[in-house]
Amino acid sequence: MTERLTRTEVERIARLAHLELDDAEADRLTRQLGDILTYFERLREVDTSGVEATTHPVSAGPRMRDDQSRESLPRDEAVAGAPDAADGLFRVPKVIG
């Protein structure tokens, strides 16, 4: 059994994900995420020797497309959903390059 998830770790993950959590949310998520991890700890008890590790539930085979281009979105439509746009460009607060 590994150590229980700490609140500091939850805060760090939230920061990396650009999420703002208030104290109550941080407490609740620490508990809930901890429960999920505890459940995975239980799964680890299953004997999986002889079972090949996999990253994907399906082996879909070669589902690839041919290299053919198609029309893209009209430019006004492309930026239509943006909170801020001008001259067909998306605009965000200044980023120091």
Partner 1 sequence: MMPDSEASRFEPVIGLEIHAHLLTESKIFCSCRTSFGAAPNSHVCPVCLGLPGALPVLNRRVVELAIRAGLALGCTVQRCSIFARKNYFYPDLPKGYQISQYEQPLASDGMLSYETEEGQRTVRITRVHLEEDAGKSLHAGETQSRHTTLDYNRSGVPLIEIVTEPDLRAPATAGDFFARLRAVLMAIGVNDGNMEEGSLRCDANVSLRPRGETALGVKVEVKNLNSFRFLQRALEHEIIRQADCLEMGEEVVQETRLWNEARGRTESMRSKEEAHDYRYFPEPDLPPIEVSDEWISEVRASLPELPETRKQRYLRELGLSATEAGQLAEQADLAQFFEDTARTAGNAKTAAHWVMGEVTRHLKTDGVGIDQVGVTADALGRLVGLVDSGVISSSTGKTVFEKMYGSGLEAEEIVERENLVQIGDRNELEALVTRVISEQPDAAARVRGGHEGTLGFLVGRVMKASRGRANPKLAGELLRQQLRAPGVT
Instruction: Please identify, among the stretches 2-10, 21-29, 35-43, 64-72, the one whose residues bind partner 1 according to the rule CB under 8 A.
Output: 64-72
Is the CB of residue 50 less than 8 Å from the CB of residue 42?
A: no
Out of 3, 42, 47, 72, the only residue in the binding site for partner 1 (CB under 8 A) is: 72
SS3 at position 28: helix
Which x/- pattern, by CB under 8 A, does the window 27-56 give for partner 1? Answer: ----------------------------xx
**Helix 23-43 and helix 7-16, axial crossing angle in degrees, nearest 10:** 100
75 binds partner 1 (CB under 8 A): yes
For 64, the enclosing helix (H) or strand (E) is none
